Structure 1
Amino acid sequence: LRPGVLKPGMVVTFAPTGLTTEVKSVEMHHEALTEALPGDNVGFNVKNVAVKDLKRGYVASNSKDDPAKEAANFTAQVIIMNHPGQIGNGYAPVLDCHTSHIAVKFAELMTKIDRRSGKELEKEPKFLKNGDAGFVKMIPTKPMVVETFSEYPPLGRFAVRDMRQTVAVGVIKNVEKKDPTGAKVTKAAQKKK
C-alpha cells in the first residue's frame, strides 16, 4: 500500500481498465484488518471480479479520490547508462516500472541536459548515448499506469531494459492520462454510489 488507506467496504478502481468494485476484506499474514496503512504489504478480496479481469501491474485506488488512470504518454528525465549504440526517436525497449514490464516507444527526444546541473545542452537531439541525460516523451505500447515521481515515487521511477540488461533509468516528470471508456462497474460498487 502506498499513500492513503484501504478498508473493507471501500470502492476501488483498477487502472488501466477502470474496473470498479468493492473491497470485501483486507488481510496481512492471513489476519483480517479493519484498515491498511501506507507501507503495509497486504492482500485484499474484491467482489464479483474474475481473475482474468486483473493483471500484474494494475493499480487499485480509491474511486472517489483521484483514482489512477492509464497513461496516454508521459515525459521522463532519462539517463543512458549502458547502451552499446545510440538511442533515437522510435526506440522501443521494455520499461520496468513498479510491477509492470511494458514496451514503450521513445516518441520524441525533447532535450539533452547536463546530468549534474540539469541545464539544457541541446534541443531535439538526434540521439542520446552512454552518459547522456535528457527529457524524452514516451508512449506505452499497451495500457500502463504511471504517475509523476514527485507525487507517487514508486509509480514514477523506472528502469529501461534491452538486450537482457538495464540500459537506462528515469523518473517521470509529467503524465497525460486517458479516461477509461466502457469500464465495468460491479453491482457491489453501484450500490455504494
Structure 2
Amino acid sequence: MRVTVLGATGGIGRHVVQQLLDDGHHVTALVRNPAKLSLTHPDFTLITGQLADRTALRKAVTGADAVISALGPSLKRSATGTELADGTRTLVTVMDEQEVSRFIGLATPSLADPRDKPHWKHKVLPVMAKAMFPGALRELEGMTAAVTSSDLDYTIARITNPTDKPATGRIRSGFLGHDKVGSAMTRPDIAAFLVSQLTDTRYTRAMPAISN
C-alpha cells in the first residue's frame, strides 16, 4: 500500500514509518523539520510542510491508500491555540478531495466511544486532563471531532500511558467496560497496532482503547 504518515518524527511515528517499510509499503511522510528524520529508503518519500499547509498536505496525500497520524498535542500547560485541530480539519478536507478514505490515528480514553460502558476512566481521566493538560485535551477533542464527524473510514486508537520500553508483541484492544484493556503500552506496540489497522476492519469507524 501507499501510506501517508503524519507525526513521523515523533516517538510513535518513527516506529510507524519503519514498520511500514519493513512490511513492504511505500511511505510518504509530511514533516515540518526533515533534519529530524534521517532515513533513506527506496520506498520512502519525505515532504516538508506543516499540517496547515494545504499544498504540501495535498502533495503528501495524493495517491495514498491510507493516512496514519501519530500526531499528538503538546503536554505543556502553557500550550495555547488549536493548531492540530485546525490542521486535522484541513486534512479531512484534503482527503475528501483526493478520495482517500482510510484514516488511522490516536486519541485518549478521556474521549468516549459509543460502544464503551461506564468506566472509571471516563470519570477520572477527563478531570485529570482538564487540570493538568487543558490545551492538549482541547486539541484532542478538536482533532477527534474533525475525523469522527466526517465520512472517513477511521480507526482512532485511544492510548493512556505510552512508554519507551521495547516491543512486547502483546496488544489488547477493545472498549471500556467491555474488554480487559490496561493503560501502559510501549510505543513500538502502539505503532504495530496502527499499522495492523491497514488490513484489520474490526474497528472501522470506532475508537478502541489499546494497551499491552
Q: When the two structures are superposed, what TM-score results if normalisation uses the length of structure 1?
A: 0.25
Bigger Rg, which one: 1
Which one scores higher on RCO, CA 8 angstroms, separation ≥ 6?
A: 1
Greater fraction of residues in helix: 2
Q: When the two structures are superposed, what TM-score results if normalisation uses the length of structure 2?
A: 0.24
